[in-house]
Homo-oligomer: A and B are copies of this chain.
Amino acid sequence: MTANPIVVTQPELTPRQQKILGLIVQAYINTATPVSSKFIQEMGDLGVSSATIRNEMATLEALGFLTHPHTSAGRVPTDKGYRYFVEKLIGDVELPQAERNMIRHQFHQAKLEMSQWMQLAAAILARSARSAALVTAPKLENPRLRHLELLSTQSQLVLLVVVFQGGIVRQRYITVKEPITQSTLSQIAAKFNSVGHNLEVASLKTKLTDLSEFEEEVLNVLIELASEADDLPLNEIYRDGLTEVLQEPEFVSRDEANTLVSAFEQPAFLNKVINAPVGTVQVVIGGEGQWRELSACSMVLARYGVEGFATGALGVLGPTRMPYGRAIGTVRYVADLMSDLVSELYVDDAASVDN
């Protein structure tokens, strides 16, 4: 409950105002309808009349934490209100031990496969945060060559299979003008493997000299496969929970629903978190200026993996009226878990390079 350093100077609220704001936010998150002074009076036990609460609500509105859909409606939190709630009022976001165990258990039951874990992570996030969940594959940062295989296919086609440090496998077909025999290919692969073993692919360029035209091409393909920074390949994003979150009342409006679907399909906002340090959880409320069209949505995002080695992003996307506590807690926990898995599977392996 300590003050979060991110907070810009914000007006100080009296304890009662804080309590009222918190109650309103939580009530609105639960009911999705504007909350009235009477409702707060009945819910919270702050022994004052509804009129007093009305006065406080007016103050909170003047300060920009609440709004009115219309004169005779209850209050609804503004983005600023949500932000204050998330940063100051939210309290404990750790998931209860029982829930953590359940999640951990599910991961241990899955096969030792990144794709399975990502799918599982998306499913857990979606369920727990009542939102749409996205998980990107971890991207290797400076991939080292583990093993290269060149296989002759038809006369004109060569299949290149490369295993990077960490067990990431990529393949690519290469067309050649002149047929190359399998034994020649094996020799070339052996050359790459002996010279380049455990080296960063980029540095291969200096280590390998006197290359034939074909070997040049192999090298280029390797570098291309290693970087693949072009765009996060669409198929490497795992998703879940879209249909469920579309049931939320904010998405009765077709436009809102469609922008959500678009954002879910083309999640440009994931770049937001791509440069953040691993381990922190970011909360973006109402698009927060940068994604105008996502004004009705919030996101809770985190990076996971091992810094400088392999990292991915994950998070949830839902209405601003999102259960932030659960969302933050789950995103943090799942991100940590995925980081552990990445490090178990990928990193000890890289550490053995130093032997």
List the interface of chain A (C-beta within 8 A of B): 111-113, 115, 119, 146-147, 149, 151, 153-154, 157, 159, 161, 163, 167, 169, 171-175, 233-235, 238-239, 242-243, 246-247, 251-252, 254, 257-258, 261-262, 265, 345, 348-349, 352
Closest chain B residue to A234, Cβ basis: B119
| Selected contact of A161 from candidates B161, B172, B258, B261, CB within 8 Å | B161
With A147-B149, A161-B169, A345-B173 as contacts: A261 and B235 at CB distance below 8 Å? no
Number of copies: 2
**Is B235 within 8 A of A258, CB to CB?**
no
Query: Can you name 12 A-B residue pairings with CB atoms under 8 Å?
Result: A111-B172, A112-B174, A115-B233, A151-B163, A157-B345, A157-B349, A235-B238, A246-B254, A246-B258, A246-B261, A254-B254, A257-B257
Inside 8 A of A239's CB, which chain B residues have their CB? 265
Closest chain B residue to A349, Cβ basis: B153
Min Cβ gap A180→B in Å is 14
With A112-B173, A242-B261 as contacts: A151 and B159 at CB distance below 8 Å? no
| Selected contact of A265 from candidates B112, B159, B243, B254, CB within 8 Å | B243
Min Cβ gap A257→B in Å is 7
**Is A243 within 8 A of B257, CB to CB?**
no
**Is B243 within 8 A of A258, CB to CB?**
yes
Inside 8 A of A172's CB, which chain B residues have their CB? 111-113
Inside 8 A of A111's CB, which chain B residues have their CB? 172
Min Cβ gap A263→B in Å is 10
With A172-B112, A243-B258, A258-B246 as contacts: A151 and B157 at CB distance below 8 Å? no
With A163-B161, A169-B169 as contacts: A175 and B112 at CB distance below 8 Å? yes
Q: With A and B bound together, what is the CA distance between A234 and B237 in angstroms?
A: 11
Closest chain B residue to A174, Cβ basis: B112
**Is B169 within 8 A of A119, CB to CB?**
no
Inside 8 A of A243's CB, which chain B residues have their CB? 258, 261-262, 265
